[in-house]
Amino acid sequence: MAALRLRHVSLLLVLAIGSRGCESKIDTNNIHSSAEASSPPGPARMPRPVAFSNTTPIPNHYIVQYHDGVEAAARAAHLNSVHAAAVVNPGGAYRGVIKHINIGSGFSAFHGELPPEQVQQLRDDNLIKRVEQDAVIRLAAPVHQSKHVETHRRAKPKLDSGSVSAAAAGGLYGNIRTVETPGSWGQARISHRDRGVSSYVYEPRDDTTVYIIDSGIRLTHSEFINGDSDGPSRAVWGHNFIENNDSEDDEAGHGTHVAGTIGGLHYGVAVKTRLVALKVFDGNSEGTWSGVIQAVEWACNDTVARNASGLSVINMSLGGGVMQSVNEAVSNAVQHYNVTVVVAAGNEDQDVANVSPASSNYTISVAAIDDSDTRPYWSNFGEGVTVFAPGDSITSAWNAADDATAVLSGTSMASPHVAGLAAYFMGLYGPLTPDQVRKLVVNKATVGLVTDPGPNSPNLIAFNGNPAELSQS
């Protein structure tokens, strides 16, 4: 993959350095940091990720999308013709059609390695809706990692003193829990209207699945083992979409951290949800847009196979400049498979309309706040943002060991709070359409407390309603 470092699109993560202080919020007694990740002198400001305008394409690799309504037989014949013409081209060694991708009736495309003259022919072909060059997507900032930090056991859950009984709540809440010292401040923030509260109040429910399109998950991490240490993991392997990489491990750590925020036992929002690792980033934190689209397809097909419509969420803590094929892939997952897609808004301090997949109208796009309810200077903004969620100095699981943790910042960390919240709502109410999930997220959100939300942004902070008060809108 190193040879393909040609177009860099960032995983939406920045260094775990407080935006208002001069010191890293990482526990330096238990952290091993990469050499290039040392704190800068002077007032600490998080390094800005690589700008999208500096990206370059992968030579000869394209995502080619068919028009809606092209018959399957016509597509098959066309694919065979394209492949045959590419592989016999005298101008070089081209692989032709590499992967055909279908996501519902509205998205049929293929990833291919094609000669330039054939690309132009495809642009002029009446069957073809668009041709976009594939790109390497890459983690833009070094990652701090913790060394075997012992996971602190939560206090025994108990009925929140401010809760009502299950009967008074209409029978929805038979097992309300309060964690007095949650693993991350983000958990507490989304379960209370006001900041500064140290407890996480929630109702644990299962029967939901979150597909994490990322760098994989450390499946054996203690955050994902319910019960004793020999119990089964809620984190399961899905598929690897990286060429020339057969590893099922999280080689970068980012995906494990995201999974911990979504559904970790101590750091998670939906502590009983099933977590599926869809690996698109390797140990160098590199992948491709075509791999991401294939991961969306896999999640949709698995949802159908499990008969889990309305109980499935996709989290995408990644992004880059606008890529219409990516936006359409996720929009078809929402429309045709009843899968809720939650995405990071991006870390470039720009309008989310400039970012994929967050610019898709069908995603729940999540911007970040810090623990003072302020949008960090790096978080994207705009009318396309759905909600804000904690994204600064978030503690969660890490890939270094089964009890390792790390403190990371970015909209990559904000998105999994809301992906976990989506699964949480599904667990409470049963199957929900993506539109119903969006309405719950928006209608239950805390209004008007974000400082500097950015132009045209909704001033909303994600909120689980505090289960004693929660009712479906």
134-165 pLDDT, tens digit each: 999 876 443 344 444 444 444 333 333 333 33
Is 442 in a helix, a strand, or coil? Answer: helix
- For 64-70, what is the mean pLDDT? 96
Q: Which domain holds residue 107?
A: 61-133
Confidence of residue 13 (pLDDT cuts 50, 70, 90): low
Catalytic residue chosen out of the listed positions 290, 317, 325, 412: 412
The per-residue pLDDT for range 280-329, each reduced to its tens digit, is 999 988 899 999 999 999 999 999 999 999 999 999 999 988 999 999 99
Share of the chain above pLDDT 90, in %: 70
Same domain, 129 and 221: no
Digit-coded pLDDT (tens) for 18-27: 332 222 233 3
Same domain, 122 and 152: no
How do strand 312-316 and strand 209-214 relate by DSSP bridges?
A: parallel
**pLDDT for residue 56:** 67
pLDDT for the residue numbered 114:
97
83 belongs to the catalytic site: no
* Domain termination site, one of 133, 163, 197: 133
Q: Which helix (H) or strand (E) holds 395?
A: strand 394-397
pLDDT-derived band of residue 198, with 50, 70 and 90 as boundaries?
Answer: confident
Q: How far is CA 181 from CA 202, 417, 443, in A?
A: 13, 17, 27
15 domain residue, yes or no: no
CATH code of residue 66: 3.30.70.80
Residue 23 included in any domain: no
Number of domains within the chain? 2
Position 466 scores a pLDDT of 83
Q: What is the pLDDT of residue 72?
A: 95
The reply to whether 197 and 120 lie within a common domain is: no
Q: Which of 133, 162, 185 is the last residue of a domain?
A: 133
Q: Is the pLDDT of residue 110 over 50?
A: yes
What pLDDT is attached to residue 21? 28
Catalytic: which of 134, 160, 214, 373? 214
Is the model more confident about 389 or about 472?
A: 389
More confident call, 102 vs 15: 102
Of the pLDDT bands very low, low, confident and very high (cuts 50, 70, 90), residue 336 is very high
The average pLDDT across 102-124 equals: 97
Residue 4 domain flag: no
Active site residue 100: no
Q: What is the pLDDT of residue 250?
A: 98
- Phi/psi of residue 93, each to 5°? -90, 105
Residue 192 lies inside a defined structural domain of this protein? yes
* 341-388: pLDDT as tens digits: 999 999 999 999 999 999 999 999 999 999 999 999 999 999 999 999
Note whether 234 and 172 are same-domain residues: yes
Closest CA to 449 of 438, 464, 435, 459: 459
Question: Quick one: 308 and 409 in the same domain?
Answer: yes
Tell me which of 79 and 228 has the higher pLDDT. Answer: 79
Least confident of 11-15, 59-63, 417-421: 11-15
Residues 124 and 194 in one domain: no
Q: Which two tokens stand for residue 267?
A: 């750091």
Q: What is the pLDDT of residue 161?
A: 32
Is residue 473 annotated as part of the catalytic site, yes or no?
no
Q: Which of 254, 257, 266, 417 is catalytic?
A: 254
Mean pLDDT (whole number) for 410-418: 96
Per-residue confidence at 467, pLDDT binned at 50, 70, 90?
low
Give the mean pLDDT of 261-274.
96
263 CB-near residues (< 8 Å, 6+ apart): 210, 224, 234, 235, 269, 270, 271, 272, 273, 274, 275, 420, 423
